[in-house]
Structure 1
Amino acid sequence: MSTILKAINVKKTYAVDSRTQEVLKGVDFQIEKGDFAVIMGSSGAGKSTLLYALSGMDNIDSGKIVFGDQSIENYSADKMSVFRRKHCGFVFQQNNLLDNMSILDNVAAAGMLCTSSKKEVLSKAEKLFEKVNISKEIQKKFPSQISGGEAQRAGIVRALINDPDVVFADEPTGSLDYSNGQVVLDLLTDIHKSGQTIIMVTHDIRSAFRGNKVIFVRDGMTGGICELGEYDEKDEERKEKLRSFLEERGW
């Protein structure tokens, strides 16, 4: 496998009132093409900040973010926007669908950012909606008219519509009940099996089991990496390996 994303001594500081808070203090790791990488850590460890830095949604103070063969940390806002549009897909804890647009129009609008062919976008959307089991009837509805689980599945379709190199998922099951969370995790697992690279932030060990690599962040630094191999629901040794890894880090 080839390296698709690399963090090199990444640092990030925020201004809080009259003082500064160092959130990322020198993070180093790399993601291989086809990884389902999970970022874990306690609240305030810098997980989401790291995810946004890796995807170019947030600037860093120093270090490097290497995406494929491009160092993206110094891109202008316009260049970064174009880069994200072409190479990144995003799934958020809150689905972030636009309330005044139908589910289909939400996805189509994202797709039209990368092509002028509406026919091509709608054809691709139809296949993706079918994959996540969202009917044509639901596609016509507005976000307020569907369930949280349906909205999150629609969010996954939106994330995939432009064939991203990497899907970034920030606590994608955090606002869902257990059964809907399982559906979303199953979808992400299936997408990963098809070759999609995924980087997911979670505090939930049930979600973390889905990854083949778990990156632990502690006090703004890389606190260890656990290589799990491919997901197997029945593999108890794999589950125990992750539990032990997390317990050793005070999880």
Structure 2
Amino acid sequence: MIKVENISKSFKDTQILHDISFEIKKGDFVAVMGPSGSGKSTLLYSISGMDSISNGKVMFENMNISEMKEEALSEFRLTKMGFVFQNAQMLKNLSIFDNIILPGLVAKNEPANDIRKRASKLMKRMEIEGLEERDIREVSGGQLQRASICRAMINTPEVLFLDEPTGALNSEATEQVLKILADLNREGMTIMTVTHDSCVAAKARKILYIIDGQIAAYKEFLVGENREMEVEKWLKKLS
């Protein structure tokens, strides 16, 4: 689905990413890990077209998105990609429900009523039905993050990009979000997440470990009950 070819990213005189290449197949669940400041988030933003790259190219289903004009790229992200961040990027003057449906209304690819129906189904699935008219400051962090996933899914994207999706959540809310992501991936959703949490990484099938803007290690993990333990062992070897 996504082919990253020798991408580099510089800012002023600082090299952030160095000649990175890898592929994401349809249905993959990829976690990006590494020390703080290693370039994890920059890599995610570069691959998703949220940030420009200095060299190389990013191919999304045989389309070179690194060469797209900003308007075309914005439309591409809106309809093909979903985004979830550590801190929910929601508008304070809108209700939870209106925040969720907003990307669908902006895309204008479907009747508004169909978008509202899908939003209601997503909220029910994420177990936050009944919060539609709440202000974003009137729900818990876990509920708000599940609403963020609903919003990211509203245009039925082909891939979900997440940047530290559980970084601001307690353990119970983290488990809820991880279950949702695992379920979505089992159903075929392609996911790439940046995380420092081995519990999050253990839900992934592939882990990229980034150090100083380069892929220092890569590993695929088999599905199984001991995957969290295997991930922790592998990460200890790298530290």
Q: TM-score, normalised by structure 1?
A: 0.92
Aligned to 1:46: 39
Q: 1:120 aligns with which of 104, 107, 114?
A: 114
Quick one: which of 4, 21, 24 aligns to 2:17?
Answer: 24
2:87 to 81, 94, 109: 94
Name the structure 1 match of 2:221.
228
The equivalent residue for 2:3 is 6
Structure 1: runs of 5 or more not aligned: none
Q: Which amino acid aligns with 1:121?
A: I
Q: How many residues align?
A: 238
Output the CA distance in 2 between the equivalents of 1:242 and 1:116. 42
Residue 116 of structure 1: CA displacement? 4.5
- 1:151 maps onto 2:144 in alignment: yes
Question: Quick check: 1:213–1:229 contact (8 Å CA) kept in 2?
Answer: no
Distance in structure 2 (CA, Å) of the matches to 1:48 and 1:70: 22
RMSD: 1.1
User: What is the alpha-carbon distance in structure 2 between the residues aligned to residue 187 and residue 243 of structure 1?
Assistant: 22
* Residue pair 1:112, 1:118 contacting (<8 A) in 2 also: yes
Name the SS of the counterpart of 2:67 in structure 1: coil
Unaligned runs of 5+ in 2: none
Report the AA paired with residue 8 of structure 2.
Answer: K
Matches of 1:28 and 1:84 in 2, distance apart? 21
Of 129, 141, 159, the match for 2:134: 141
Give TM-score scaled by structure 2 length.
0.96
**d(CA) in 1 for partners of 2:157, 2:101:** 15
1:241 pairs with 206, 227, 230, which one?
230
2:199·2:228 contact (CA, 8 Å) conserved in 1? no
CA distance in 2 between counterparts of 1:6 and 1:229 reads 22
Please state how far the C-alpha of 1:246 moved relative to its aligned partner: 1.8
Counting aligned pairs with the same residue, the percent is 37
Query: Post-superposition, which runs of at least 4 consecutive aligned residues in structure 1 deviate over 6 A?
Result: none
Aligned to 1:171: 164
1:203 and 2:176 aligned: no
- Checking the alignment, whether the CA contact within 8 Å between 1:226 and 1:242 is kept in structure 2 is no
